[in-house]
């Protein structure tokens, strides 16, 4: 047997799965010493000074510091009672590495929630009932439940008549997707709407129904949602309530139906498909066959119409005419990702101005049949509130969506930055303009840990500990985009990089920090080791514990990074 093959068979096999303990980084030791002096223990007063001065938590109090100390000592001693009232260096290091005690962003709602709905980015789903691809997957209430449990506040349901036109099905029309009953979807929304967040759930209805079926939907909504259903004030459409005013309310949004016989479109016109790409247009909210049962409603205003709190429309006469039209009524305009990208390129400031009063919903293009997603920053840059995503379409784009809505305590509403709300002609934000640098973000990555607890010891490499490195990105305005990476730390379950990166930012208000850990593989594709995405505007300065997530956005139990954030 050749020496190479011998080494390959036995050399790698004999490598040890060593579990190293590198101890606290030097910056942690220096911070501890700076606040304790020559003492070996940190008092509650000293911990408070550290929180205020080093971590920038100016609102901290002595009782808060004492509570943190209590939780650290209780966890480390596994006892309800303990005799010490101070922290050792190891206790202090333990505290810094607890993401619930020392998170990178605030875990509480802290934005002003009293502005009108259109002043917020809203966590929004597309075709919320689909379990997989856009053409043949099952329709179910389960994806709706999953989305609400994650904090999604915008749910989309496509409403179609069954073959007998006596029941309402939820499915992706003109495809092979199997339907789910509307009542099951409504019941799931009622049960799970406010599990994650108390702020309003907007149910977007893509309506392809007859008038009698719309009345059935109205009755179903009233019966199932009950006191949770929001009833708009009659005749008032020039403003929308605030998220705070709509707490624990379910809000319906769709295109108002035609009420008069002479305004009803022929079925052929309303159901016409211009090309195959429109199969997933997602917001083609036209009426379906409005046959002889329209006579049953005649001129009587329907309950269905009175339940529509946010009126929707499509820019049928061109986006420019729609956004420049003088109109006192607040509306929701639906755009495909292509329409949005083209519009943002040609007249971004006009769209920004339009979204200061109206809602814009952006949905994936029809060719995304695998339920992939697009770059969400394109929509957010021009103030589009409802960037609608396939929540089952896992990948980098969805990670950015998750990251944006980790902000503001994960409540599903993120207040738009002031740059998008300025109305003076010369002050309206122009995403295409060359802007000056506003601030600099310094990111220091100390180390990572927890993989040995959340992964099997042979997950990354059968014969040795993993070789981790980290990729760090800034995603936001095109001028702010940046990417970098650390060195590879070989054979270490607790890699220590101790590297700092500097990112100059022109639009920090809309920037996201994306982090991805990989395990280097010389002969194959590098293995995934975790990811996270965080709003730069929400980052808390100081040394922080940063939890990592799997490819689907689920939080690992143990895997996290120790990092420091500084703004200049």
Output the tens digit of pLDDT for each of the chain's 568 residues. Answer: 444 344 344 444 444 555 667 789 999 999 999 999 989 999 999 999 999 999 999 999 999 999 999 999 999 987 556 667 899 999 999 999 999 999 999 999 999 999 999 999 999 999 999 999 999 999 999 999 999 999 999 999 999 999 999 999 999 999 999 999 999 999 999 999 999 999 999 999 999 999 999 999 999 999 999 999 999 988 666 789 999 999 999 999 999 987 533 343 443 333 332 333 333 344 555 444 444 454 444 445 578 989 999 999 888 788 888 888 878 889 999 999 999 999 999 999 999 999 999 999 999 999 999 999 999 999 999 999 999 999 999 999 999 999 999 999 999 999 999 999 999 989 999 988 999 999 999 999 999 999 999 999 999 999 999 999 999 999 999 999 999 999 999 999 999 999 999 999 999 999 999 999 999 998 889 999 999 999 999 999 999 999 999 999 999 999 999 999 999 9
CATH code for position 70: 1.10.238.10
Joined together, the tokens standing for residue 521 give: 């593989």
Q: Name, in order, each residue with C-beta under 8 angstroms of 13's C-beta and a sequence gap of 6 or more.
A: 463
Residue 306 inside a domain? The answer is yes
Same domain, 251 and 196: yes
- 324: number of Cβ within 10 Å: 13
Determine phi and psi for 490, rounding to 5 degrees.
-85, 145
d(CA 30, CA 37): 10
Same domain, 234 and 279: yes
- 458: number of Cβ within 10 Å: 10
Question: Whose CA is closest to 234, among 303, 149, 138?
Answer: 303
Question: Whose CA is closest to 242, among 413, 116, 109, 112?
Answer: 116
Same domain, 291 and 163: yes
CATH code for position 561: 2.60.40.150
Same domain, 145 and 290: yes
- 439: number of Cβ within 10 Å: 13
d(CA 348, CA 383): 9
Same domain, 62 and 125: no
CATH code for position 226: 3.20.20.190
d(CA 417, CA 383): 9
The predicted structure's pLDDT at residue 259? 55
Residue 538 inside a domain? The answer is yes
Q: Per DSSP, what are the bridge partners of residue 341? A: none
d(CA 538, CA 229): 32
Residue 124 inside a domain? The answer is yes
User: 333: burial class by Cβ within 10 Å (0-12, 13-18, 19+)?
Assistant: buried
Same domain, 221 and 90: no
Q: Are 87 and 40 in contact (CB under 8 A)?
A: no
SS3 532: strand
Q: Name, in order, each residue with C-beta under 8 angstroms of 437's C-beta and a sequence gap of 6 or more.
A: 504, 505, 506
Determine the distance from the C-alpha atom of residue 539 to the mean position of all C-alpha atoms in its chain, rounded to a whole number.
Answer: 16
Of 414, 449, 478, which marks where a domain is finished? Answer: 414
- DSSP 8-state secondary structure symbol assigned to residue 171: S
Same domain, 522 and 410: no
d(CA 85, CA 410): 34
The predicted structure's pLDDT at residue 327? 80
Which residues are the active-site residues? 126, 172
Residue 103 inside a domain? The answer is no
Of 379, 414, 449, which marks where a domain is finished? Answer: 414
> Which domain covers residue 38, as residue numbers?
26-96
Q: Are 245 and 225 in contact (CB under 8 A)?
A: no
Q: Tokens 């996201």 sit at which residue?
A: 512
The predicted structure's pLDDT at residue 269? 39
Residue 11 inside a domain? The answer is no
Q: Are 481 and 373 in contact (CB under 8 A)?
A: no
Residue 420 inside a domain? The answer is no
Determine phi and psi for 326, rounding to 5 degrees.
-75, 120
d(CA 207, CA 204): 9
> Residues 182, 185, 191, CA angle at the centre, nearest 5°?
140
The predicted structure's pLDDT at residue 19? 61
Joined together, the tokens standing for residue 326 give: 């003088």
Same domain, 466 and 553: yes
How many distinct structural domains can be found in the chain?
3
Joined together, the tokens standing for residue 128 give: 């919320």
Same domain, 71 and 193: no
d(CA 271, CA 160): 12
Q: Are 57 and 47 in contact (CB under 8 A)?
A: no
Strands 468-475, 512-519: pairing is antiparallel
Residue 364 inside a domain? The answer is yes
Strands 527-535, 512-519: pairing is antiparallel
Same domain, 400 and 505: no
The predicted structure's pLDDT at residue 96? 98
User: 160: burial class by Cβ within 10 Å (0-12, 13-18, 19+)?
Assistant: buried
Same domain, 171 and 313: yes
Question: Whose CA is closest to 390, among 411, 367, 406, 409?
Answer: 367
Same domain, 38 and 174: no
Residue 372 inside a domain? The answer is yes
């Amino acid at each position: 047997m050749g020496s190479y093959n011998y080494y390959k068979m036995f050399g790698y096999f004999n490598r040890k799965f060593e579990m190293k303990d590198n101890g606290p980084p030097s910056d942690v030791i220096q911070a501890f010493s700076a606040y304790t002096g020559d003492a070996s223990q940190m008092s509650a007063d000293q911990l408070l000074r550290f929180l205020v001065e080093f971590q920038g938590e100016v609102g901290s109090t002595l009782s808060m510091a004492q509570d943190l100390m209590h939780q650290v000592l209780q966890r480390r001693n596994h006892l309800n009672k303990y005799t010490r009232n101070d922290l050792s260096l190891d206790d202090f290091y333990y505290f810094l590495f607890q993401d619930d005690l020392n998170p990178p962003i605030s875990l509480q709602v802290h934005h002003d929630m009293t502005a009108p709905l259109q002043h917020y980015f809203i966590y929004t789903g597309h075709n919320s009932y689909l379990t997989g691809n856009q053409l043949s997957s099952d329709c179910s209430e389960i994806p709706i439940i999953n989305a609400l449990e994650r904090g999604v506040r915008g749910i989309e349901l496509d409403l179609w008549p069954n073959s007998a036109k006596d029941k309402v099905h939820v499915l992706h029309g003109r495809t092979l997707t199997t339907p789910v009953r509307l009542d099951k979807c409504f019941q799931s929304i009622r049960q799970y709407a406010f599990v994650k967040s108390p702020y309003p759930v907007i149910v977007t209805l893509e309506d392809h129904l007859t008038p009698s079926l719309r009345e059935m939907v109205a009755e179903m909504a009233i019966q199932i949602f009950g006191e949770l259903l929001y009833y708009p004030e009659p005749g008032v459409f020039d403003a929308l309530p605030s998220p705070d005013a709509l707490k624990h309310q379910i809000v319906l949004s769709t295109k108002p139906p035609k009420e008069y016989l002479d305004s009803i479109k022929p079925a052929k016109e309303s159901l016409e498909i211009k090309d195959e790409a429109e199969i997933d247009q997602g917001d083609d909210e036209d009426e379906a066959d409005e046959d002889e049962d329209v006579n049953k409603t005649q001129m009587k205003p329907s309950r269905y119409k009175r339940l529509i709190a946010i009126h929707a429309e499509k820019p049928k006469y061109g986006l420019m005419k729609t956004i420049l039209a003088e109109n006192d009524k607040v509306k929701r305009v639906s755009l495909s990702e292509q329409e949005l990208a083209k519009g943002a390129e040609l007249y971004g400031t006009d769209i920004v101005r339009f979204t200061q009063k109206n809602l814009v919903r952006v949905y994936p293009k029809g060719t995304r049949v695998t339920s992939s997603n697009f770059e969400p920053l394109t929509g957010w840059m021009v103030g589009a509130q409802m960037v609608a995503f396939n929540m089952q379409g896992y990948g980098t784009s969805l990670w950015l969506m998750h990251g944006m809505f980790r902000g503001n305590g994960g409540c599903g509403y993120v207040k738009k930055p002031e740059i998008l709300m300025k109305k003076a002609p010369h002050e309206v934000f122009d995403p295409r303009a060359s802007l000056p640098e506003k601030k600099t973000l310094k990111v220091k990555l100390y180390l990572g840990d927890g993989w040995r607890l959340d992964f099997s010891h042979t997950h990354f490499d059968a014969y040795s500990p993993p070789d981790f490195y980290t990729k760090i990105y800034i995603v936001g305005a095109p001028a702010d985009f940046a990417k970098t990476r650390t060195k590879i730390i070989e054979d270490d379950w607790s890699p220590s990089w101790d590297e700092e990166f500097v990112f100059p930012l022109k639009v920090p208000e809309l920037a996201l920090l994306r982090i991805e850990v990989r395990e280097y593989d010389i002969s194959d594709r590098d293995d995934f080791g975790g990811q996270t995405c965080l709003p730069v505007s929400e980052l808390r300065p100081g040394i922080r514990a940063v939890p990592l997530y799997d490819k689907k956005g689920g939080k690992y139990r143990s895997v996290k990074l120790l990092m420091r954030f500084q703004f200049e």
